[in-house]
Amino acid sequence: MKKSIPYFCFLFLILVSASCSLKEKREEKIFEMTGADSLEVEKKEVSFYFYEEEKEYPDAIIEMYAPLSNQKFSPGRIPFEFNIKNYPFGEEIDGFKLNTILNSGDPVGHNSPIFQQELNEGTYRIVAYLVDSQGLALKEFGNYVDREFMVGNTRPFPYSAEPYLALNLPINGQAYLEGEEVTLDFLVIGGDMLLDNLQVEIKVGDFHYEITEINPVRISNLPKGEHLIQLNLSYQDGKQLAGPFSSAQKSITVQ
């Protein structure tokens, strides 16, 4: 009997650890859906919520050496160079740790802080950021950097001091299994959600959700089919932002 005590203690520790690891849903909003078949009594609930996420590497810093602000290039391969501090970049090969977004496109992952990318003529705004072990964007000041540059015969963006969005997840065309949790992960650049009284409005079909914190929003039980996810950054008093990157949208499929 004495030999079995450590075993039961071990099981107890596992159960305690598992119960502590369960995340509590915050500000959950539930939408009830009834099947199209009138004989279908069961109701399905689609819910929006977020967790209190653990902040990984809050002191991580990413610096951009190239391109310079409003630098001009000829069309072709454009050089990018970053310096990363207080973050284990390059120590583990378990997925991309540095992501870049150009003009609200899908994020591109990089395993090196120095790389080149083929670009056509146009004006570009790049957002570069580090991600955590779950692939979520690090959101503390210094964890991300942005810059504008030009390729070919083009003009810079009109000056704007307004904050804007950078959408990390989902990527356009991403597929999910029925019942799988969908994560909407975003950055707000150039503004503070609390100090500037900002909010992010999320629309998925007839579903509508608002958040005033920088936390990934989760959606559960989306029905099968294609869904257009729309995010819009605005002030809490309803005033809209005029910048071209204050909104983002992606299409996903639930199979």
For the segment 198-242, what is each residue's pLDDT rounded down to a tens digit?
Answer: 999 999 999 999 999 999 999 999 999 999 999 999 999 989 998
Tokens for 219?
Answer: 């959606």
Average pLDDT over residues 185-198: 96
Average pLDDT over residues 119-142: 96
| pTM recorded for the entire structure | 0.86
CB 125 within 8 A of CB 146: yes
* Domains by residue range for the chain, with CATH: 24-52+162-254 (2.60.40.10), 61-151 (2.60.40.10)
Pairwise CA distance, residues 135 & 56, whole Å: 11
pLDDT of 13 reads 39
Cβ contacts of residue 165 below 8 Å, gap of 6+?
104, 186, 187, 188, 189, 200, 231, 233, 245, 246, 247, 248
Cβ contacts of residue 136 below 8 Å, gap of 6+?
53, 168, 169, 183, 185, 216
